[in-house]
Structure 1
Amino acid sequence: MSFIKTKLIHLLKQVFPSSYTELAVFIFFLTCYGALGTYIALHYRIIFDSRIPWDAYFSFDNKAIVMTGGSFERHPLAYYFFNWVREFSLLISGGKMDATFRLTLAWLSNTAISLCMVQIFKYLKNIIRLPLMISLLIILFFGLFSTSIILSFTPENFTYTLLLLSIYNYYAAVKLRKEEKIPGSALTLAGITIGGLTITNLVKVFIPVLFEKNLFRSWKKFGNAAFRVILTIASFVFLYLLRIDFKYENIFSKTNQQYEKFSNVESIPDWDMMLSYFFGGSILFPSFMTTDKHNMKGFDFKGLLMEPYSSSFCYAFIIILLGLILWSYIKNFRNKLVQMIIISFLVDIVIHCIMRFGLHTSYIYGGHFVFVYPLLLGWLFYAYKSQPKILSFLMITLVILFVFLLANNLYRMSDFFLFLETYYQ
C-alpha cells in the first residue's frame, strides 16, 4: 500500500506544480487563458453549438468530439474520455448545453494547456537546467503560439494530447537521465491514453525505449523492452477492438476513406502549405478567411480557415525559428534526449508533409508536436551556456521573435473576435 501511495504522490508532483515558481507559472497561464476562454464561452456560442458538428473555426470538430470523441479509426479510445468530459460539464451546467456548459468545457481545456506549460517549464528547469529567466522567456514564447492560444478554450483531442505528450516526454526524460527503464505499467498507460486519443501518436510512446541504457548490448534488456512494447500494443489493440465490437475490417475501410479525403487537396503548393500551415500556422497566425459551411441537416453557418502567409516577415519568422531548431539539433546531436524529441517530430513531418495527410489544414495538428520547439530552444541555450556572446545573440534573437509573435497573434486574435461578433453571438 505504501508503494502505491509513494508512486501516486510522485505522479501528482510530476503532473502538477511542485514548487512556488511552477505554481506561479500555472496560475499566470490559468488566469490569462481563463480570461480568454471565459469571455468567449459567455458571450459567443462557438465553443459548443449543438447545430455545428465541425469546422466552425480552423477545422476543429468541437461538438462531434465532445459528443463522441471523434472517429474511431483516428481516435480509437477518445469516446470514453470525452464521455467523462461531457458528463462532468453537464453536471456543472445542470444538464443544459448552455453558456455554463461551454464555460466548463473551456476551463477544462484551459487547465489542460496551463498544466502543459508547467510540464515544459519543468523540463527546461529540471532536465535542461536553464537559468530561471531563460526558462521563463521560452515558456512565455511557447504560451503565445497559436496552437496554445486556440487549444486553451477548445474542447478537442489535440488539447489533451498536447498535455499527455508533454507529461510523457518529461517523464521519459527523467527516467533516461537517471539511466532507468520506463516501467511496463507506465508504457502501457501512456500507450492507451496517448494512442487512444490519436492513434498515430502511439509510436511516439515507444521512442524513449530506444534510448534506454545498453538496450542493444544486452539480450536480457532488449527482451525486457520487447516484452513491455508487446504488452502495450496488445493492451491497446484489445481495447481498440473492444471499442468497435471486434469488427476490425471497419478500421481499414474507414482509414482509407480518411486518407483519401484529407490527402488529395491541391489548393496551394506543398512548400507553402508546409511553411504556412504545418510549421507556421501552429505557431504564428496567418490571415483568416471565412467559408460557407453546412451541417448536412439543413443548417448553414460560417467557418473560419487560415490562409497562406502573405507577408515576407511571417515567412522570415518561421525560417529563423526553424533555423534555430536545426542549429539546436546539430549542436546537440549526441544528446539522446534531443534525438528523442526530433524523432517524435519526424513522425508528424512524415505523416503531414511527406504523406500529405491533412497538409492543407495541418495547423490544427499542432497539439501533436508544438512542444518540441520550446524544448529544442532550451537545448540550444544549454549548448552555449559557457559562451556569453552566443548566448546574448540567442537571447536577442528570441526576444525579437517573441515581440513579433506577440504583436502578430494579438492582431490576428482581434480578427477572430470580429468573426465571433459577426456570426456567433
Structure 2
Amino acid sequence: MSKFKTKFVDFFKLIFPSTGLELVVFLFFLVCYGYLGSYIAIHYKIIFDDRIPYDAYFSFDNRAIVLSGGSVERHPFSYYFFNWIRGLALFFSHGKMDGNFRFALAWFSNITVSLSVLQIFKYLKNIIKLPLVLNFLLILFFGAFSTTLLLSFTPENFTYTLFLLTLFHHYAAIKLKKEQKIPALVLAFSGISIGGITITNIAKIFIPTAFEKDIFKNWKKFGNVVLRVLFTIICFVLLYLNRLDFKYKQIFNKTSEQYEKFSSVKSTPTWDMILSYFFGGNILFSNFIIRDKHNTQGFDYKGIIMDVYSSWGPYIFILILLILIFWSYFRNFKNKLVQVIMISFLMDIIIHCIMKFGLHTAYIYGGHFVFVYPLLLGWLFYSYKESPKMLSFLTAVFCILFIYLITNNYLRMTEFFWFLNKYY
C-alpha cells in the first residue's frame, strides 16, 4: 500500500506544481489565460455557438468536438472524453449551452494549457537544469505562441493533446535520465489516451523506448521493449475496433477520403504553406482573411483564417528560429533526450510537409509539436553553458525574437478582437 501511495503522490507531483516556484508559474499563466478566455466566453459567442458547425476561427471545429469528440477515424476515443467535458460544462451552466457553458469550456482549456506550460517549465528546470532567468524567458516565449494563446480558450482535441504530449515527454525524459524503462501499463495508458485523442500521435509514445539503456545490446531488454510495445498496440487496437463495432474497413475508407480532402489544396505554393502555416502559423500569427460561411441549414456566418505572411519580417523570424532549432539538434546529436524530441517533431514534418495532410491549415496542428521549440532552445543554451560569449550571443538573438513575437502576436490579437466585436 505504501508503494502505491508513493506512486500516486509522485503522479500528482508530476502533473501539478510541486514547489512554490512552480505554483507561481502555473498561477501566472492561469490568470493571464483565464482573463483572456473568460472575457471571450462572456462577451462573445465564438467559443461555442450551436448554429456554427466548424471553422468560425482558424479552422477549429469547436462545436463538433464538444458534441462528438470529432471523427472516430482520427480521434478514436475522444468521444468519451468530451462526453465528460461537456457534462461538466452543462452541470456548471445548469443544462444550458449559454455564456456559462462557454465560460466552463474556456476554463477547462485554460487549466489544461497552463499545465502544459508548467510541464515545459519543469522539463527546463529539472531535466535540462537551465538558470531560472532562461527558464522564465523560454516559457514566456512559449506562452505567447499563437497556438498556446488560441488553445488557452478553445475546446479542441489539440488543447488536450498538447498537455498529454508535454506530460509524456517530461515523464519519458525522467525515466531515460534515470536509465529506467517505461512500465508497460504506463506505455499502454499513454498510447490509449494520446492516440485516442489523435491517432497519429500514438507512434510518438514508442520513441523513448528505442533509447532505453542497452536494448540493442541485450536481447532480454530488447524483447522486453517489444512485448511492451505489442501490449500497447493490442490494447489500443482492440478498444479501437470495439469502438467501430469491428467494422475495420471503415478506417481505411474514411482515412483515404480525409487524406484526399485535406491534402489536395494547390492555391498556395508548398514552400510558402510550410513556412507560413506549419513552421510559422503555430508560433507567429500571420495575416487574417475573413470568409463567408454557412451551416447548410440557412444560417450564414463569418469565419476567420490565416493567410501566408505578406512581409519579409516573419519569414526571417521563422528562418532564424529554425536555424536555432536545428543547430540545437546537431549540437546535441548524441543526447538521447534531444533525439526523442526531434524524432517526434520529424513525424509531424513527414505527415504535414511531405505527405501534405492538412498543410493548408497546418497552423491548427500546433498542439502536436509546438512544444519542441522551447525544449530544443533549452538544450541549445545548455550546450553552451561553459561558453559565456556564445551564451550571451544566443540570449541576445533569442530576446530579439521574443520581442518580435510579443509585438506581432499582440497586434494580431487586437485584429482578432475587432473580428469578434464586429461579428460575434
Whether the TM-score (by the shorter chain) exceeds 0.5 is yes
C-alpha distance in 2, partners of 1:41/1:244?
Answer: 35
C-alpha distance in 1, partners of 2:245/2:302?
Answer: 37
User: In the alignment, what sits opposite 2:234?
Assistant: 234
C-alpha distance in 1, partners of 2:267/2:421?
Answer: 29
User: In the alignment, what sits opposite 1:161?
Assistant: 161
User: In the alignment, what sits opposite 1:187?
Assistant: 187
| Residue pairs, 1:46-125, within 5 angstroms | 46-125=46-125
- Tell me the alpha carbon deviations over residues 290-333 of structure 1, each in whole angstroms, 9 at most, x when there is no partner: 01111122211111110000110100000000000011011000
User: In the alignment, what sits opposite 2:143?
Assistant: 143
Q: AA paired with 2:6?
A: T
Asked if residue 292 in structure 1 is aligned to residue 292 in structure 2, the reply is: yes
**For 1:180, what is the secondary structure of its paired residue?**
coil
CA contact (8 A) 1:267 1:360 kept: no
- Tell me the alpha carbon deviations over residues 8-51 of structure 1, each in whole angstroms, 9 at most, x when there is no partner: 11100000011111111100000000000000000000000001
Q: CA RMSD in A?
A: 0.6
Count of residues in correspondence between the two structures = 424
Q: AA paired with 2:177?
A: R
C-alpha distance in 2, partners of 1:298/1:310?
Answer: 35
Q: Which runs of 5+ in 1 are unaligned?
A: none
Q: AA paired with 1:286?
A: S
User: In the alignment, what sits opposite 2:255?
Assistant: 255
C-alpha distance in 2, partners of 1:169/1:180?
Answer: 14
TM-score when scaled to structure 2?
0.99
C-alpha distance in 2, partners of 1:260/1:348?
Answer: 18
**For 2:304, what is the secondary structure of its paired residue?**
strand
User: In the alignment, what sits opposite 1:343?
Assistant: 343
| Residue pairs, 1:12-411, within 5 angstroms | 12-411=12-411
C-alpha distance in 2, partners of 1:402/1:221?
Answer: 44
C-alpha distance in 2, partners of 1:200/1:13?
Answer: 28
**For 2:207, what is the secondary structure of its paired residue?**
helix
C-alpha distance in 1, partners of 2:127/2:195?
Answer: 25
C-alpha distance in 1, partners of 2:289/2:382?
Answer: 40
Q: AA paired with 1:304?
A: I
**For 2:303, what is the secondary structure of its paired residue?**
strand
Q: AA paired with 2:247?
A: K
TM-score when scaled to structure 1?
0.99
C-alpha distance in 2, partners of 1:95/1:159?
Answer: 24
**For 1:292, what is the secondary structure of its paired residue?**
strand
Please report how far the alpha carbon of residue 247 of structure 1 lies from its aligned counterpart in structure 2 after TM superposition.
1.1
Q: AA paired with 1:148?
A: T
Q: AA paired with 1:280?
A: G
C-alpha distance in 2, partners of 1:203/1:54?
Answer: 28
User: In the alignment, what sits opposite 1:9?
Assistant: 9
Q: Which runs of 5+ in 2 are unaligned?
A: none
CA contact (8 A) 1:77 1:197 kept: yes
C-alpha distance in 2, partners of 1:3/1:197?
Answer: 31
Please report how far the alpha carbon of residue 2 of structure 1 lies from its aligned counterpart in structure 2 after TM superposition.
2.2
Please report how far the alpha carbon of residue 249 of structure 1 lies from its aligned counterpart in structure 2 after TM superposition.
1.1
Please report how far the alpha carbon of residue 144 of structure 1 lies from its aligned counterpart in structure 2 after TM superposition.
0.4
C-alpha distance in 2, partners of 1:267/1:82?
Answer: 35
C-alpha distance in 2, partners of 1:72/1:286?
Answer: 31
Please report how far the alpha carbon of residue 4 of structure 1 lies from its aligned counterpart in structure 2 after TM superposition.
1.9
Q: AA paired with 2:53?
A: P
CA contact (8 A) 1:74 1:198 kept: yes
Please report how far the alpha carbon of residue 243 of structure 1 lies from its aligned counterpart in structure 2 after TM superposition.
1.1
**For 1:71, what is the secondary structure of its paired residue?**
coil
Identity of aligned residues (%): 65
C-alpha distance in 1, partners of 2:312/2:253?
Answer: 42
- Tell me the alpha carbon deviations over residues 261-290 of structure 1, each in whole angstroms, 9 at most, x when there is no partner: 000000110000000000000000001000
Q: AA paired with 1:95?
A: G
C-alpha distance in 2, partners of 1:249/1:58?
Answer: 32
C-alpha distance in 2, partners of 1:347/1:298?
Answer: 41
**For 1:416, what is the secondary structure of its paired residue?**
helix
**For 1:304, what is the secondary structure of its paired residue?**
strand
Q: AA paired with 1:217?
A: K
Please report how far the alpha carbon of residue 3 of structure 1 lies from its aligned counterpart in structure 2 after TM superposition.
2.2
- Tell me the alpha carbon deviations over residues 96-131 of structure 1, each in whole angstroms, 9 at most, x when there is no partner: 000000000000000000000100000000000000
User: In the alignment, what sits opposite 1:419?
Assistant: 419
C-alpha distance in 2, partners of 1:185/1:342?
Answer: 25
C-alpha distance in 2, partners of 1:296/1:252?
Answer: 27
**For 2:291, what is the secondary structure of its paired residue?**
strand
**For 1:289, what is the secondary structure of its paired residue?**
strand
